[in-house]
Each structure stands twice: as C-alpha cells, then as structure tokens.
Amino acid sequence: MKVASAAVLAALLSISTARADEPPPGASSCSGCHAVNAAAETPVPPIRGRTADEIMAAMAAFRAGKQPATVMDRIAKGFTDDELKPIAAWLAQQK
C-alpha cells in the first residue's frame, strides 16, 4: 500500500512541476516550418494567433485530405487527437 501511495505521489509531483511554458511533445517541431516571429516572411501560414479549436480543425482537415497540403497531411496523420489537444492548446497560448 505504501509503495502504491509513493508512486501516486511521485506522479502527481511530476505533473505539478511541469512548466506551462514548455511545449508538449511534438509541438516544438511546428516552428521548423511555421515562423515563431511575426516579422518573419515565409510561404507557410502562421499558427500564431489561432485558437486551439482552429488548430484542431485544421489538423482534422489535413488528416481527412480535405485541406490541400504538401506535408501537413502526413504530419497530421502521425498524431492522435489526444496528442494534438495539448499541442493545439499550447500553440494557441503563444504570443
């Protein structure tokens, strides 16, 4: 019983000490194509200023083949909705 309690406590502590400004797994790769700096000129549409719902809808459209893409259709298929939700939420919070 004590071992299980210690494991639960350790898990909770690791969750509570995670930094909100750190991207969830997969999110940092977005800036490889989508400029983080608003002044940067790139043919790739910015993610900056989009809501989490907009990001999720775009990823669903890429995954379903309803949005033209060069690589985003393949990238979108590599993530589950459960993986995309924290990524979209984090990206939407970036200023």
Provide the token pair at 66. 């309803």
Give whole-number Cα distances, 78 to 62, 71, 91, in Å.
11, 11, 18
pTM of structure: 0.73
Where in the sequence is the domain holding 73, given as residue range(s)? 2-93
The total domain count for the chain is 1
pLDDT in tens, the chain (95 residues): 444 444 444 444 444 344 567 899 999 889 889 887 778 888 898 898 899 999 999 999 999 999 999 999 999 999 999 999 999 999 999 87
CATH number of the domain enclosing 30: 1.10.760.10
CA distance 91 to 75: 16
Q: Which segments within the chain are labelled E, that is strand?
A: none
